[in-house]
Homo-oligomer: A and B are copies of this chain.
Amino acid sequence: MINKEKIHPLLQGPVQSRDGIRGIERPRGLLDALQEDNEHLRSLAGMHIVSARQFDRNQILQLSRLAASYETQPDLIHPPLRGKILVSAFYEPSTRTRLSFESAWHRLGGDIMSITDPATTGIAKGESLADVGEMFNNYGDVVVLRDNSEDSVYSMLDSLRIPIINAGNGIDEHPTQALADIYAILKWYPSFGREDLPEDKKVIIGVIGTPNRMRTVRSLLLLLSLFSNSIKKVYIVNPSTDLFDAEQQEELEGAGLKIEVIHKLRDVLPEIDVVYINSIAWVGDSYETLTGDIKLTSESNLKPNSIILHPLARGEELDPSLDKTEHNWYFSQARGAVFIRMALLTCLVHRINLVVDSPVDQPEEQ
């Protein structure tokens, strides 16, 4: 007989089921807490999604509700994007974000064409970005673009006749990642979406990152400002100074966000309800890491019941010893990112009426 003892233990039975946090209780709770109101989604039809500034609070709540609906019933009987084509253009390498979008589009029933190797693109051949946009018009129904330049996506807006989603433009923005972050917070604490929370029910958020050099952080702060009434304070935790662009902090505070810059994580960690950590900062085309005391482990003095978010991929700053604790909401955040993208894509492609119970009048599809 073949020596069955040589078979790895984890090959001896079928794969194990998911655990609770990544199950459907949380999205179901969000569905119950939020009233459906698809009027707010109507305005997303045919829009480019480039900056987190474009969203209002109601859109985010309704997108999250639709995402929760998808998360509780992921197998769609009538996929709404059948026959639609996504151009997946990642001029800057990515696996997570690209697969997240592609998975979302596939689950909605659509088809995908990928551009993943910069050496084969129009840009490499010297084409103008306006011409690249014109080309995309002919081939697909939506473009998702990641590029290491802040300007590329903006340079294409004039020629594009199909919606484009910014999946990361240099150090500028990454709006759908911020949507995924808010969706995770809402699943954890649906009341975050209310406007009338008493002071003792508001949350303290800690952002370990660099607001003027991390696109994830820049977009997240913009979206958090829409929920200022539910936030007691936002700590920006960073050993450096010079963390904001001109007017960046003023704009956020003008929108109602209370911001406090802290240099040592240890000083405030026990107060924080939502710990957002992202230690990698773009400087040109290379990475730099925040050093010092920025590292979360199961030994860190986290507030009980607090949650940790991280856009992933992670490095040393977020230790695996936290993976099996209740603080681990970064895996759920990654999982939910597919569903919030499904919600957004559904709305962009004018198909909201195919997936909701109360259809709305939509602008004519172009």
| A6 x B334 contact (CB < 8 A) | no
**Chain A 128-171 near chain B by CB (<8 Å), digits 1 or 0:** 10110011011110000000000000100110111100000000
Give the complex CA separation of A25 and B106 in angstroms: 33
| A18 x B366 contact (CB < 8 A) | yes
Give the complex CA separation of A84 and B95 in angstroms: 19
Chain A contacts with B in 307-325, Cβ cutoff 8 A? 312-315, 320
By a CB distance below 8 angstroms, the chain B residues around A100 are 138-139
Give the contacting residue for A18; candidates B17, B95, B106, B161; CB below 8 A.
Answer: B161
Check: A83 CB closer than 8 A to any chain B CB. yes
By a CB distance below 8 angstroms, the chain B residues around A160 are 15
Check: A286 CB closer than 8 A to any chain B CB. no
By a CB distance below 8 angstroms, the chain B residues around A162 are 15
| A95 x B79 contact (CB < 8 A) | no
Closest CB of chain B to A134's CB: distance in Å? 6
Give the contacting residue for A103; candidates B46, B95, B106, B113; CB below 8 A.
Answer: B113
Which stretch, A47-55, A209-217, A270-278, touches the partner chain B?
Answer: A47-55
Closest CB of chain B to A17's CB: distance in Å? 5
| B116 x A117 contact (CB < 8 A) | yes
Chain A contacts with B in 327-366, Cβ cutoff 8 A? 331, 334-335, 337-338, 363, 366
A16 to chain B: closest residue by CB: B161
Known: A100-B139, A251-B2. Is A85-B106 also a contact (CB below 8 A)?
A: yes
Q: What is the size category of the interface that chain A forms with chain B?
A: 35 or more
Copies in the complex: 3
By a CB distance below 8 angstroms, the chain B residues around A320 are 128, 130
| A96 x B122 contact (CB < 8 A) | yes
Give the complex CA separation of A157 and B122 in angstroms: 31
Closest CB of chain B to A159's CB: distance in Å? 9
Check: A283 CB closer than 8 A to any chain B CB. no
Check: A229 CB closer than 8 A to any chain B CB. no
| A7 x B138 contact (CB < 8 A) | no
A85 to chain B: closest residue by CB: B106
By a CB distance below 8 angstroms, the chain B residues around A363 are 14
Closest CB of chain B to A119's CB: distance in Å? 6
| A111 x B115 contact (CB < 8 A) | no
| B366 x A14 contact (CB < 8 A) | yes
| A46 x B366 contact (CB < 8 A) | no
A115 to chain B: closest residue by CB: B95
Give the complex CA separation of A85 and B76 in angstroms: 13
**Chain A 86-100 near chain B by CB (<8 Å), digits 1 or 0:** 010010011110011
Give the contacting residue for A338; candidates B50, B116, B139, B366; CB below 8 A.
Answer: B139
| A120 x B93 contact (CB < 8 A) | yes
| B76 x A93 contact (CB < 8 A) | no
| A15 x B161 contact (CB < 8 A) | yes
Check: A45 CB closer than 8 A to any chain B CB. yes
